[in-house]
Amino acid sequence: MDVWNKRYIFAENLEMMTIITGREFRTNQGKYIGMAHRGERVVISSKSGFAELTPISKDDKEIKEHLVGKSFHAVAAKVRKEYKNGKGVTLSTPEEIESYLASL
């Protein structure tokens, strides 16, 4: 039974959900983003697991402004350049992350 790109109604809470593959999402991004903005649940499956598509709400205006702002892109470009020059830090475990953050 093909479970991808289908809609399911879960009897527990009468909730409808659309499950799609990553490829399907890339092919029809606008369609699925529109569904998420209308309040529909869209779940994307990939080799690494499942993720739910969630729109940024109007309450998250600061996040949206930050992501599209010039300062964000300038900082991202600077970080990429520093990383290429060997100034990046690689952290692999939660303990390494905690230790690094504590050192700041």
Where do the structural domains in the chain lie, given as residue ranges? 6-53, 58-103
| Long-range Cβ contacts of 35-39 (<8 Å, 24+ apart) | none
Residue 25: burial class (beta carbons within 10 Å; 0-12, 13-18, 19+) = buried
Name the CA radius of gyration of the chain, rounded.
19
Over 60: is that where the pLDDT of 3 sits?
no
**Per residue in 6-38, pLDDT tens?**
665 555 555 678 889 999 999 999 999 999 999
Q: What does CATH list as the number for 6-53?
A: 3.40.1620
Nearest to 36 by CA among 13, 52, 58: 52
Q: pTM score, two decimals?
A: 0.48
Query: Rounded to whole angstroms, how far apart are CA atoms 78 and 98?
Result: 24
